[in-house]
Amino acid sequence: MKEKLYRFMVGRNGPDQLTRALTGLSLAVLVFNLFLRSTALNVLWMAIMIWAYYRMFSRNLARRREENARYMQWEYKLVSGLRGWWDRLRQRRDYVFFRCPECRAMLRVPRGKGKIRVTCRKCGNAFERRT
Ligand SMILES: [Zn+2]
């Protein structure tokens, strides 16, 4: 049985990060729908499951790898964005955050210092700012 499954999966994509994320999402939709009992959510759950299985058994490895890479890039952006937001939230008592008007880099200065001269670490642009 194990041998058969192994031979079946040779040359197929298998569970990559995107497939795992889809499976997790479908599970979340399923649990959420236990309370809502909506037909639309049921269809959505099925569609996500079909998509996940399709990707797992697909033989078009190049295409699946490309999709997975795009997903991982998106996930990285999302996670680092959320982490940055969380860090700023935790430090907002002691620091002021704002973007450099020149290069849009996120800058952090101590709070309550009055009017100070800020030099951007990324582009070297200097400007005055109230904190
Ligand atoms: Zn800058």
Is residue 77 domain-shared with residue 109, that is, in the same domain?
Answer: no
Split into its structural domains, the chain has a count of 2
Domain that holds residue 41: 2-91
Q: Which of 30, 32, 69, 65 is nearest to 47 (CA)?
A: 30
Q: What is the pLDDT of residue 64?
A: 97
Q: Is the pLDDT of residue 131 over 90?
A: no
How many angstroms separate the CA atoms of 82 and 87, rounded?
9
Q: How many residues does the chain have?
A: 131
Residues 52 and 82 reside in one and the same domain: yes
Q: What is the CA(97)–ligand 1 centre distance, in A?
A: 13
State how far the alpha carbon of 128 is from the alpha carbons of 45, 114, 116, 131, in Å: 53, 10, 6, 10
Distance 55 CA to ligand 1 centre (A): 42
- C-alpha 69 to ligand 1 mean position (Å): 30
Taking the model in full, what pTM does it have? 0.75
Q: What is the pLDDT of residues 12-46, one digit of tens each?
A: 999 999 999 999 999 999 999 999 999 999 999 99
Same structural domain for residues 11 and 58? yes
* 23 and 85 housed in the same domain: yes
Å from CA of 98 to ligand 1 middle: 11
pLDDT at 2 over 90: no
